[in-house]
Amino acid sequence: MYGRDDVYTVRMFSSEEKTRAVAALLSWFDAHKRPLPWRSSYTPYEVWISEVMLQQTQMERGVQYFLRWMKRFPTLASVAEAPEEEILHYWEGLGYYRRARFLHQAAKTVMERFGRALPCAKEELASLPGLGEYTVAAILGIAYERDVVTVDANVERIFSRLFNIAEPVRKAPTATWIRRTAQELLPPGQARAYNQALMELGALVCGKAPRCPECPLLPWCEARKKGVEKSRPVLPERPKVIPVVSAHSILLWKRQILLLQRPLNGLWGGMWEFPGAMVAEKASPRETAVRSMAELGLRVEILAPLGQVRHSYTNHRLTAHFFRVEFASDFSEEQASALARRVPCRFLNWNEVGTLAMPAHHRRMADRYFSGKHRASAEQLSL
Dihedrals phi, psi of 302, to nearest 5 degrees: -80, 130
Confirm whether 129 is domain-assigned: yes
- Co-location of 283 and 344 in the same domain: yes
270 neighbors 259 (Cβ within 8 angstroms)? no
In this predicted structure, what is the pLDDT of residue 4?
Answer: 43
DSSP 185-197: HPPTT-HHHHHHH
- Co-location of 340 and 369 in the same domain: yes
Domain boundary among 231, 252, 286: 231
Its domain, for residue 57, covers 2-231
In this predicted structure, what is the pLDDT of residue 13?
Answer: 85
- Co-location of 218 and 307 in the same domain: no
List residues with catalytic annotation.
Answer: 51
- Co-location of 215 and 255 in the same domain: no
- Write out the E strands in 43-106: none
**Ranges in the chain, pLDDT < 50:** 1-4, 373-376, 378, 383
Confirm whether 236 is domain-assigned: no
- Co-location of 208 and 257 in the same domain: no
- Co-location of 161 and 256 in the same domain: no
- Co-location of 258 and 162 in the same domain: no
Say whether 286 sits in a helix, a strand or coil: helix
In this predicted structure, what is the pLDDT of residue 169?
Answer: 92
pLDDT above 70: percentage of residues in the chain: 94
In this predicted structure, what is the pLDDT of residue 8?
Answer: 56
**What secondary structure letter does DSSP report for 37?**
G
